[in-house]
């Protein structure tokens, strides 16, 4: 649980500090090359979700964000694996970063615009560090799920194999038992 909290806190703080620096040092729409054509800063205020989808429905994203936040907090005590704790920490920190923007940035409570500023010219989106954390958590989710690693850190196929062996052992007759008759 401590790993989850530390990861969430670090993601949240780095995201919010980066956004404050962007708002203080760039004007909206300003583009700055960081690594040539590989990475640029491009400050935009995003009222929607990814790719500005749902720009008129910011309040819905705020409500969904609060719901997901509640789920993560409710689900967190079940996590017994460091990898899953990192996953949920990334998700929680990213969610809190974008939710803070939606709740407290202009134009108003619950309908605030998210500060996006990272642009990779080869990709069609402008995003922020909270988005990177959320996407990273989803990639980690896929990896853990494909590898069959449960919330306890154990491989689910190992558990299934152990159960199958136990059932098979119970079904086999003991060679030391004498046949009835």
**Token pair of 111 as six digits:** 């309908």
For the chain, state the CA radius of gyration: 23
Whether 172 and 166 have beta carbons less than 8 Å apart is answered as no
Provide the 3-class DSSP secondary structure of residue 8: helix
Active site residue 157: no
116 in active site: yes
DSSP annotation of 149 reads B
Q: Which of 101, 131, 152, 157 is catalytic?
A: 131
Q: CA quadruple 139, 143, 145, 151: dihedral positive or negative?
A: negative
Torsion angle (degrees, nearest 10) of CA 78, 84, 90, 95: -40
Alpha-carbon distance 162 to 112, whole Å? 51
Residues 116, 152, 157, 177: which is the catalytic one? 116
- Hey, what are 100's tokens? 């803070």
Alpha-carbon distance values, 96 to 31, 104, 116, 159 (Å): 26, 12, 15, 35
Catalytic residues, by residue number, are 116, 131
């Amino acid at each position: 649980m401590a790993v989850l909290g530390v990861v969430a806190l670090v993601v949240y703080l780095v995201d919010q500090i980066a956004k404050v620096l962007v708002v203080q040092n760039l004007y909206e729409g300003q583009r700055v090359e960081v690594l040539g054509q590989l990475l640029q800063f491009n400050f935009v205020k995003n009222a929607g979700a990814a790719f500005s989808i749902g720009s008129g429905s910011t309040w819905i994203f705020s409500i969904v964000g609060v719901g997901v936040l509640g789920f993560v907090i409710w689900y967190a005590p079940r996590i017994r694996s460091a990898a899953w704790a990192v996953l949920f920490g990334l998700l929680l920190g990213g969610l809190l970063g974008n939710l803070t923007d939606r709740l407290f940035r202009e134009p108003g409570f619950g309908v605030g615009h998210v500060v996006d500023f990272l642009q990779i010219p080869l990709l069609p989106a402008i995003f922020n560090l909270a988005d990177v954390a959320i996407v990273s958590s989803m990639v980690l989710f896929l990896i853990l799920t494909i590898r069959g690693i449960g919330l306890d850190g154990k491989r689910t196929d190992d558990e299934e194999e152990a159960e199958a062996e136990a059932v098979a052992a119970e079904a086999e007759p003991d060679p030391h038992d004498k046949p009835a008759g």
